[in-house]
Amino acid sequence: VDDFQALLDAARRVKMSDEVPVHFARSSAGTELIGAAAIQPFESDESLDPGDFHVLVFAKLITPAVVAEVSGSFAIADLRLELKPSAGRLAVALKDVSSKDIAYFTWPSMAPGTKSYEKIDGDLRTAGAILVLFLCAIGFAGGITVRNLRKSEHASRHRALHDPLTGLLNRAGLLENVAAVSSWV
């Protein structure tokens, strides 16, 4: 009775823009969700006493079907409504008007990040090895290309400075060698 009166008083204190007070309660039927909102005018009027407002109260019994609906809506496997938190399970307390714990929603700890990582750990290692092999292949192909370009440059230089029939220096090759020798002396 005192808790119900506290719920009504809380509903009367709430302004329209505030959230409606919602709490849980134990009854002979089980755990119930209870909310209350004062029926008040849309426009605030300071002359009205909030204590005179009628209060609309709603209650919903939390049945196994409701727990299953919450479990499905939020994708929480094996969600249960229990009176005390169980060891090895995560829990959230359902509180009454005076902030006492009435019951608990509990569910097993899934450690989704760890499980997801364990599922793809081998794939990540394989992808890393493939990446390293790919980069090594690119480096190897680049090295071969550089070596071939150097050979090609050397062959082109030789063709440019030598006569194709005799293999002796042509005019450009002779002038280049004379310039190199004269700068050396």
**What is the C-alpha separation between 89 and 5, in angstroms, rounded?**
34
Residues 99 and 117 placed together within one structural domain of the fold: no
Report the pLDDT averaged over residues 52-79: 87
Contact 177, 169 (CB under 8 A): yes
Identify the pLDDT of residue 10: 74
H or E, element range at 67: helix 64-73
**What is the C-alpha separation between 25 and 94, in angstroms, rounded?**
9
Give the residue among 140, 141, 172 at the shortest CA–CA distance from 156.
172
Q: Which of 110, 136, 154 is a domain's end point?
A: 110
Identify the pLDDT of residue 141: 98
Report the pLDDT averaged over residues 103-112: 86
Residues 167 and 120 placed together within one structural domain of the fold: yes
Residues 85 and 171 placed together within one structural domain of the fold: no
Domain count for the chain, please give it.
2
Band of residue 18 on the pLDDT scale cut at 50, 70, 90: low
- Domain enclosing residue 137, as ranges: 113-184
Per the model's pLDDT, the better-predicted residue between 177 and 41 turns out to be 177
Question: Is the per-residue pLDDT at 178 higher than 90?
Answer: yes
Residues 33 and 80 placed together within one structural domain of the fold: yes
Q: What is the largest CA-CA distance in the chain?
A: 120
Question: Is the per-residue pLDDT at 1 higher than 60?
Answer: no
Name the token pair of 181.
């020798």
Identify the pLDDT of residue 154: 95
Q: Which of 77, 110, 143 is a domain's end point?
A: 110
Query: For the chain, what is the mean pLDDT?
Result: 86
Please give the share of the chain, as a percent, with pLDDT higher than 70: 91
Residues 58 and 124 placed together within one structural domain of the fold: no
Indicate the SS3 state at residue 25: strand
Residues 10 and 82 placed together within one structural domain of the fold: yes
Residues 104 and 147 placed together within one structural domain of the fold: no
**DSSP code for 21:** P
Report the pLDDT averaged over residues 99-109: 90
Amino acid letter for position 61: L
Name the token pair of 36.
């209350």
Band of residue 113 on the pLDDT scale cut at 50, 70, 90: confident
**DSSP code for 8:** H
Residues 47 and 77 placed together within one structural domain of the fold: yes
Identify the pLDDT of residue 50: 65
Identify the pLDDT of residue 96: 84
Residues 10 and 36 placed together within one structural domain of the fold: yes
Identify the pLDDT of residue 38: 78
Q: Which of 33-42, 60-69, 119-128, 131-140 has the lowest mean pLDDT?
A: 33-42
Per the model's pLDDT, the better-predicted residue between 29 and 114 turns out to be 29
Identify the pLDDT of residue 161: 92
Strands (DSSP E) found in 30-140 = 30-38, 55-61, 80-82, 89-95, 101-108
Give the residue among 12, 100, 99, 95 at the shortest CA–CA distance from 51.
12
Residues 12 and 82 placed together within one structural domain of the fold: yes
Residues 118 and 105 placed together within one structural domain of the fold: no
Q: Which of 110, 129, 150 is a domain's end point?
A: 110
**What is the C-alpha separation between 20 and 162, in angstroms, rounded?**
97
Entry pTM: 0.51
Residues 97 and 141 placed together within one structural domain of the fold: no
